[in-house]
Structures are given as C-alpha cells and as structure tokens.
Chains A and B, each alone.
Chain A
Amino acid sequence: MNEKREMIRVEKLNKSFGDLHVLKDIDLEVKESDVVVLIGASGSGKSTLLRCLNFLEIKDNGTVILEGEKIEKETHNLNKVREKVGMVFQHFNLFPHKTVLGNVIEAPTQVKGVEKKKAIEEGKSLLDKVGLSDKYDVYPSKLSGGQKQRVAIARALAMKPDVMLFDEPTSALDPELVGEVLLTMKELAKEGMTMVVVTHEMGFAKEVADWVVYMHDGKIVEYGHPSEMFENPKEERTKAFLNSVL
C-alpha cells in the first residue's frame, strides 16, 4: 500500500471567485491507481476542486503536486500538464462538427503530433473498448447520452493520461443509460487507472472507490474508505448528507 506512487498531492489549496471563498485549505492525496470519489452538496466546491487539478481553474494559493512535481502556472506549460490529466464532463462536450473517431483522434494528432494512421488505429481500439465499434463515423448528435459519454471517455483516454477526472459523468443521463457509463468506468478502474470522480452514484462509490471524500462548504469534512464512510461516518454533517442521498 505504501509503495504506491503518489499521483496527486494537494496542500492548503484555496480558491475564490470574487468574494466567494469556494475552496478552503484543501488537502488531498491520490495514489497511483486509486479511485477517489468526491461527494457533497451542490455548491460545496467539488467541480472547482476537480478543475484546479487540471488547471482549468487556477488556484489562488496552496500547492498542487502532480506525480511529484509542484505545478505552477509561472513555471509550467499548463497545456503539457493537461495532456497527462484527462477530464470527462457532465455534459460530454463532444465536438459536434467531428465524427466519433474524429473526436477521439483530434488531440493525439493535433497536440501530440501522432501520425494519423496510428491515431486512427488506437482510436478505434479505444472505441471498441468502450463498446462503440459500430459508431466510428457517426456524428455525436446521433448518439444517446450514454454513448456520448463513452466517446468522451475514449477521447480523454486517447491522450494516454496518467489520471482521469470525472465531473458528474452520469448526472445528465437518463436513468437507464447510467449503468453503461458506470460499467466503462469500473473497467477503467480495474485496469489501474487513477481516477478522481465527482458523483452522486453512491453504489459506484461503495463498489469501486478506494477513498470517499466528503466536501461541505469548500472544506473536506471527512474522508475514508467507503465501508467506514458509509457504515459509520464520524461527522454529523456527513451523516446528514448521506441520509439525504442514500
């Protein structure tokens, strides 16, 4: 357990939007191939924390260490950093003017300069993996929500990231489509991908998470293994929140 490499380390992270102090002294540690699930009420800062991890939001102060390296916008090319941290969004954000395969090969070819033929080969195998081998040439508008999200996962994986961030990946889906996306994520977890997942799917958290982190009002109130967290949470706030969602 202790030998696992540290992938993400956050220390005393603070972030405000104007007067609104959204993240307050956040500390977080994610080890290689860990699955960390972030839970908490709406507005508690889960998305903002996630976005600070791939620098879509820039922290005000504190430290973000990725794979042992302290990342600062002054000293690092954040574009390069983002290549290593994939992200999946609630609303998929597929590129509507590109086909499914086009979505998946876009970043490898344009950002990494991977040869198109090779990118297509790898892209197809990723799409096969998420169960979309019959959809290569289809435009996103022709897909169901669950299929769109699986394309989005394949698109992020195409950059061969070391960490994957998921921001409520199933919240925009019809209930009957949630399962297929969770299944894809479970497989990814099984393969050893390091994942930080914001979700309201407590079943997924119980089954897949190594750690559950409960956020309230910009702070991490409690964290622990899912069994501890769900069976007997220590903090009153955590209890109240879990009662409201379970």
Chain B
Amino acid sequence: MGKILHFFDVFINSIDIFVEGLWITLKLSVVSLLIAIVIGLFFAILKISNIKVLKWIADAYIWLVRGTPLVVQIFILFYGLTDILLIPMFWAGVAGLAFHSGAYIAEIIRGAIQSIDKGQAEAARSLGMTKGLSMRRIILPQAFRRAVPALGNQFIIGIKDSSLVSFIGMQELFGVASTMGSNTFDFLPYYITVAVYYLLIVLVLTFAVNKLEKRLAASD
C-alpha cells in the first residue's frame, strides 16, 4: 500500500519535468514521422519504378534499416551528424528515427499504391494525364487514405522507438525517467510513471486514428 502511495507521490511531483520530456517526445515523433513519410514516399516510388537501378537503391536502403538495430542506427547518425556535420542533437535524433521509420513507411506506401485498382491509372492515362500527374492526383490520394491505419500504427511504433534517443543524451520522456531514477536511486516509480505517459499517448493516438479511419471510410 505504501509503495503505491509512493508511486502516486512520484508521479504527481514529477509532472512538470515529465511534461517537458513529453513535449520533446512529441516533437521528435511528429517531425520524424513527417520526414519519414517523405522518405518513404520517395523510396516507395523508386521501388515501383521500372528502372532496375532505382529499385536496387530502394532495396538497399530497406535492407540497411531492417538489418541493423535502431540503437545502432541512432548512434551512427548521431556521431556522424553531430561530430562531422555539427548538426544539433535534436535533429540528429530526428534523423535517426526518420531514417528508420522511412523504410517501414516506404513498404506501407508501396503496398497501398499497388493495392489501388489498375483501372484508376488507366482511366487517368486515357484522359491524357501523364504518369506523374496520375500518380499525384489519382493514385496517391487514394493510397494515402488506404494507408492511414498502417501509418497510424507506424507512428505509434515511432513514438515508442523515440525512447532510444535518450541514449544519445536527449531528455525526452524516457531520458527524463532514467535521469530522475539515477539521481534518486528510486528507479521503479519513475519507470512506471514513464510507462503511464506512453500508454496515454498511445491511447489518444489509437482513438484519433480510429476516428480518422471511420471518417475516411464514410467518404469512400
């Protein structure tokens, strides 16, 4: 009983500092997601192109991301970017996360594009649209709608994965928990606290994605 009360104490007393960490986590996750979507779109299009070399480039990227742990990717990008290119830590963290999610999002978008009925592109081409215009105006808007559930899921994974940038010293949610834990030697309550924050974010996000999915389904 005392332990539970102690946890609530820790939770309440640490709200300020965790909210700061939460803010960084959200910024990291949203910015890296947006960049990852651009990266993903780019590689998805390389992958469905008819040019072999472009396909290989996309395959190589996806292989690199899948073949190495995220922590390793984050460390390599962190040291590469901050030491050599003198890029600020936040952006090194964003780069690591976006580089990683980008590969998964590339596969999500490629799958969504290929799931759109071939008749759509044919109709567009028969009206005189170029391949690019048909992709941009007809195929991609439909593919993105179809990809919303998978992208939402990837965003949730991205938020949880963002905890790994604490290892390069960022004070996002997990970084805050670790720091507070080591400062007080009172680890468990802080880690439970941070778990609650993640659970809440995921809860809100799941709800939002479901709502969006329903809205898109209604207009279909």
Contact = CB atoms under 8 A, between A and B. Distances in A.
B123 A141 contact: no
B142 interface: yes
Bin chain B's interface residue count.
20 to 34
Contacts of B133: 110-111
B128 A111 contact: yes
Contacts of B141: 97
Interface stretch (B14-22, B99-107, B114-122, B192-200): B114-122
Nearest to B216: A97
Given A96-B142, A141-B220, A111 B129 contact: yes
B220 A159 contact: no
A83 interface: yes
Nearest to A83: B128
Interface string B134-168: 00011001100100000000000000000000000
**How large, as a class, is the contact surface on chain A?**
20 to 34
B145 A97 contact: yes
A93 B123 contact: yes
B219 interface: yes
Given A96-B142, A96-B220, A141-B220, A82 B126 contact: yes
Contact of A155 (B127, B137, B219): B127
A83 B219 contact: no
Contacts of A159: 127-128
B52 interface: no
A109 to B, nearest CB: 10
B120 A95 contact: yes
Contacts of B127: 82-83, 86, 106-107, 111, 155-156, 159
Contacts of A152: 123
B125 interface: yes
Contacts of A87: 123, 126
B49 interface: no
B130 interface: yes
Contacts of A110: 129, 133, 137
Given A93-B123, A107-B128, 10 more contacts: A79-B129, A82-B125, A82-B128, A85-B126, A89-B119, A97-B145, A111-B127, A112-B128, A152-B123, A159-B127
9 contacts: A54-B126, A79-B125, A89-B123, A91-B119, A95-B123, A95-B124, A96-B142, A97-B142, A97-B145
